[in-house]
């Protein structure tokens, strides 16, 4: 386990963190507008829009809280029984000679496109299911449990709308935030925007919304003043920008490159946007790029899916940050729930699901054929974990890549049509082979979670599993390994030195037997000497005791930079490791710990506590994530 002090450099500009919807760095808005609408290239203005929003300290703090709430949400997706309804309002701005009836119909047609795209019922989803999905084994398209409605009831006053009218205003609003329309996802449509569209990365539902150029709104012939132009004439610009509003980044991440990502686990890493209609199989980072996702920059006809990870992230964001919008649906979206399946059409759940031929890492799963089924979706997971999906046209599948001696759940449903799916079958449970024990009846295999090597000291294995039933019945994790290491390593008193902090194992209170490593840790990390010996100190000791004698690792897995804005100092950071739990420690040039703070997001921007920094002109930072550290000695002035 490694520890890293990241070199911090002070910059005048600070908002380089969030969605960068233009690859080029531009000097001002005029330059952006001149370059952003190049023929044949999609563009969006989120980067510039977020810079402007984050200049407001109140918005910046609220945005940080939103990110923390979303990152803390579970990746485990519940079955969709009743979609969450999100009311929408469309505001046409600056339209000459508007045809009101045509614009209302165009708005409703655009909302219908959204529902098809987000729910995976778009007609061209077959480009994925019957074609490009074969290039992405194990990755399935997402079907969001969300239903967008164009509101029809209880409209805000002052706009001349009656109950029964759709929530469409024409030349009655200005800008991209109208507080009177709080509780809605607002779509602002105006000509000559300079981008195809822009949106905040994570909307509030407080009158904000998505802004779309009039030449990229809707599909078909359009209306006077609002005519969608090819190749952005299928309504997918709003599909893309609304993804940003629901916290989806571009498929290549914030800044691009193979070390950046979009914080979605199932989307392959890509270095930069794709334009036009690229061939399936294109690759940049040793994996096939998912350029057919709605969050890339391809033409409307060549983007046709979200991944399941993307739809789950959006559902989590709605659940944690847009309850003011979903809670308004009952009042303003009367009668807009999704229609039921056509009459006399049924799709029965598969029967007689069975698991057989179980090995250490594979299992066969079969079921009875369902009349009218086009294909089947199989879901499998470690008990209580995240579902992995398989799609097949057969009535059996061999599941591979399972973990040795582990409990699994598996189920299947039939897809009889794009909008007609069966309930899932009864969930089956099974356990893979290969279990070993430490001389007792434990099911969990005692293997080192870092190296995968089987542990050999049967007495210590038994002792750990007797004292911690999780290590016996569920899984041998890092905590189990900590206890095992202490058992096998024995214990002698720590060396006598001038450190007031007692060097004892924070997990079990035992002392350490390597005096040189204790001294080494307390020398390089004064907190372990002067304040307390905590888990960070313990992990540094283990790294030393394992033989490296120094902290390992590079800066490839973590970046951070310091930014000054007036009298405020900010740290922007990005941890490129999934599900990382991040702790930041600010350290003075003489090794004194100024203060510590736990960070709930893997990438964000936070304001340093200037009161605590008083008197310190040079300092460095330590980012700890998942027990890993990257170390870089630095003196970074904030003057």
Report the CATH number at residue 362.
2.60.40.10
**Tens of pLDDT, residues 540-577:** 777 666 643 333 333 455 666 666 656 667 666 666 65
Structure tokens at 62: 């609220």
Residue 178 lies in a domain: yes
Distance of CA 162 to the CA centre of its chain: 40
Are 82 and 159 in the same domain?
Answer: yes
Question: What H or E segment, with its residue span, contains residue 381?
Answer: strand 375-382
In whole angstroms, what is the distance from residue 296 CA to residue 274 CA? 6
In whole angstroms, what is the distance from residue 388 CA to residue 381 CA? 6
In whole angstroms, what is the distance from residue 463 CA to residue 447 CA? 15
Asked if 373 and 400 touch (Cβ cutoff 8 Å), the reply is no
CB atoms within 10 A of CB 24: 9
In whole angstroms, what is the distance from residue 367 CA to residue 384 CA? 23
- Bridge-based pairing of strands 618-625 and 5-6 is antiparallel
φ, ψ of residue 563 to 5 degrees: the values are -135, 140
Are 109 and 206 in the same domain?
Answer: yes
Residue 612 lies in a domain: no
**Tens of pLDDT, residues 325-342:** 999 999 999 754 444 434
SS (H, E, C) 280-298: CCCECCCCECCCCECCCCC
Question: What H or E segment, with its residue span, contains residue 573?
Answer: strand 568-575
Cα→Cα distances 288→132, 270, 278, 292, 312, Å: 11, 8, 12, 11, 22
* DSSP letter, residue 526: H
Distance of CA 131 to the CA centre of its chain: 26
**What average pLDDT score do residues 392-411 get?**
88
Query: Bridge partners of 390?
Result: 378
Are 384 and 443 in the same domain?
Answer: no
pLDDT of residue 154: 95
Name the percent of the chain lying above pLDDT 70: 68
Are 212 and 102 in the same domain?
Answer: yes
In whole angstroms, what is the distance from residue 343 CA to residue 410 CA? 31
Are 374 and 474 in the same domain?
Answer: no
* DSSP letter, residue 278: P
* pTM value > 0.75: no
In whole angstroms, what is the distance from residue 360 CA to residue 610 CA? 55
Residue 581 lies in a domain: no
Residue with tokens 């579970």: 74
Least confident range of 73-82, 95-104, 496-505, 506-515? 73-82
* DSSP letter, residue 500: S
Residue 1 lies in a domain: no
* DSSP letter, residue 408: E
Catalytic-role residue among 241, 445, 486, 624 = 241
Note the helical H segments in 88-207: 100-119, 126-129
Are 144 and 179 in the same domain?
Answer: yes
Query: Bridge partners of 11?
Result: 563
pLDDT of residue 529: 82
Distance of CA 334 to the CA centre of its chain: 32
Collapse the DSSP code of 458 into the 3-class scheme (helix H, G, I; strand E, B; otherwise coil) and give the result: helix
In whole angstroms, what is the distance from residue 196 CA to residue 159 CA? 27
Name the percent of the chain lying above pLDDT 90: 33
**Tens of pLDDT, residues 136-146:** 988 889 999 99
Residue 235 lies in a domain: yes
Are 415 and 478 in the same domain?
Answer: no
pLDDT of residue 590: 62
CB atoms within 10 A of CB 588: 17
Q: Is the pLDDT of residue 6 over 50?
A: no
* DSSP letter, residue 141: B
Distance of CA 515 to the CA centre of its chain: 43
Are 87 and 121 in the same domain?
Answer: yes
Asked if 595 and 612 touch (Cβ cutoff 8 Å), the reply is yes
In whole angstroms, what is the distance from residue 322 CA to residue 316 CA? 10
Confidence of residue 301 (pLDDT cuts 50, 70, 90): very high
Asked if 105 and 353 touch (Cβ cutoff 8 Å), the reply is no
Residue 281 lies in a domain: no
Torsion, Cα 46 48 50 52, to 10 degrees, reads -150
In terms of Cα–Cα distance, which of 304, 46, 92 is closest to 189?
92
Q: Is the pLDDT of residue 303 over 90?
A: yes
Least confident range of 145-149, 467-471, 592-596, 600-604? 600-604
**Tens of pLDDT, residues 375-398:** 898 988 887 666 788 888 899 999
Q: Is the pLDDT of residue 50 over 90?
A: no
Collapse the DSSP code of 95 into the 3-class scheme (helix H, G, I; strand E, B; otherwise coil) and give the result: coil
Residue 103 lies in a domain: yes
Work out how many domains the chain is built from and give that number: 3
Are 176 and 233 in the same domain?
Answer: yes
Domain ranges, residue 188: 73-255+308-332
Asked if 368 and 380 touch (Cβ cutoff 8 Å), the reply is no
Q: What is the mean pLDDT of the chain?
A: 76
In whole angstroms, what is the distance from residue 365 CA to residue 357 CA? 9
Structure tokens at 251: 């498929």
Are 124 and 225 in the same domain?
Answer: yes
The CATH number covering residue 88 comes to 3.40.390.10
Are 422 and 445 in the same domain?
Answer: no
Note the helical H segments in 490-612: 515-524, 526-530, 535-545
In whole angstroms, what is the distance from residue 44 CA to residue 243 CA? 12
Query: Bridge partners of 170?
Result: 92
Q: For residue 241, indicate whether it is catalytic.
A: yes
The sheet carrying 558-565 orders its strands as 10-11, 558-565, 568-575, 603-607
Q: Where does a domain end: 278, 298, 332?
A: 332
Residues in the chain: 639
Are 373 and 245 in the same domain?
Answer: no
In whole angstroms, what is the distance from residue 304 CA to residue 296 CA? 11
SS (H, E, C) 160-175: CCCCCCCCEEECCCCC
Residue 506 lies in a domain: no
Question: What H or E segment, with its residue span, contains residue 236?
Answer: helix 236-245
């Amino acid at each position: 386990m490694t520890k890293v002090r990241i070199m911090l450099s002070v910059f005048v500009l600070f908002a380089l963190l969030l969605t960068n919807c233009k690859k080029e760095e531009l000097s001002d808005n005029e330059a952006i507008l001149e370059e952003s609408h190049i023929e044949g290239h999609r563009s969006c203005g989120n980067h510039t829009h977020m810079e402007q929003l984050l200049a407001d300290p109140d918005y910046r703090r609220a945005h940080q809280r939103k990110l923390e709430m979303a990152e803390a949400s579970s990746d485990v997706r519940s079955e969709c029984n009743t979609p969450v309804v999100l009311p929408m309002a469309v505001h046409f701005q600056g339209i000459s000679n508007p045809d009101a009836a045509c614009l209302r119909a165009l708005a409703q047609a655009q909302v219908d496109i959204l529902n098809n795209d987000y729910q995976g019922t778009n007609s061209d989803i077959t480009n994925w299911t019957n074609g490009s999905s074969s290039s992405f084994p194990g990755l399935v398209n997402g079907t969001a449990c969300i239903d967008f409605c164009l509101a029809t009831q209880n409209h805000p006053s002052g706009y001349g709308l009656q109950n029964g009218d759709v929530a469409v205003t024409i030349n009655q609003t200005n800008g991209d935030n109208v507080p009177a329309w709080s509780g809605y996802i607002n779509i602002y449509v105006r000509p000559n925007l300079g981008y195809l569209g822009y949106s905040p990365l994570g909307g509030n539902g407080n009158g904000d919304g998505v802004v779309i150029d009039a030449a990229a709104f809707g599909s078909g012939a359009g209306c006077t003043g609002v005519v969608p132009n090819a190749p952005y004439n299928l309504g997918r610009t709003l599909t893309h920008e609304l993804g940003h509003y629901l916290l989806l980044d571009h498929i290549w991440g914030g800044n691009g490159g193979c070390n950046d990502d979009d914080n979605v686990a199932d989307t392959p890493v890509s270095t930069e946007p794709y334009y036009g209609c690229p061939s399936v199989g294109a690759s940049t980072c040793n994996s096939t790029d998912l350029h057919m996702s709605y969050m890339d920059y391809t033409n409307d006809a060549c983007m046709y899916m979200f991944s399941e990870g993307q739809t789950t992230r959006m559902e989590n964001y709605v659940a944690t940050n847009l309850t003011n919008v979903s809670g308004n649906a009952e009042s303003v979206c009367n009668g807009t729930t999704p229609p039921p399946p056509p009459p006399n059409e049924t799709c029965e759940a598969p029967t007689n699901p069975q698991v057989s031929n179980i090995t250490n890492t594979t299992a066969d799963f079969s079921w009875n054929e369902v009349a009218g089924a086009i294909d089947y979706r199989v879901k499998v997971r470690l008990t209580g974990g995240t579902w992995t999906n398989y799609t097949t046209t057969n009535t059996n599948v061999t599941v591979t890549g399972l973990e040795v001696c582990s409990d699994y759940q598996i189920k299947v449903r039939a897809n009889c049509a794009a909008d007609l799916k069966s309930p899932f079958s009864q969930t089956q449970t099974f356990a893979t082979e290969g279990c070993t024990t430490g001389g007792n009846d434990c099911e969990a295999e005692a293997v080192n979670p870092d190296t995968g090597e089987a542990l050999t000291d049967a007495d210590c294995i038994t002792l750990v599993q007797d004292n911690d039933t999780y290590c016996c019945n569920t899984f041998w994790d890092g905590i189990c390994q900590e206890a095992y290491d202490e058992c096998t390593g024995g214990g002698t008193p720590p060396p006598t030195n001038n450190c007031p902090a007692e060097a004892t194992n924070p997990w079990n209170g035992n002392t350490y037997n390597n005096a040189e490593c204790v001294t080494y840790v307390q020398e390089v990390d004064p907190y372990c000497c002067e304040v307390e010996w905590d888990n960070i100190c313990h992990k540094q000791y283990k790294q030393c005791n394992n033989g490296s004698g120094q902290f390992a690792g590079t800066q490839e897995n973590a970046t951070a930079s310091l930014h000054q804005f007036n009298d405020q100092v900010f740290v922007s950071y990005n941890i490129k490791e999934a599900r990382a739990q991040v702790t930041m420690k600010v350290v003075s040039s003489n090794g004194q710990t100024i203060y510590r703070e736990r960070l709930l997001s893997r990438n964000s921007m936070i304001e340093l506590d200037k009161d605590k920094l008083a008197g310190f002109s040079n300092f460095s930072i330590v980012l700890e994530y998942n027990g890993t550290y990257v170390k870089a000695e630095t003196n970074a002035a904030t003057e």
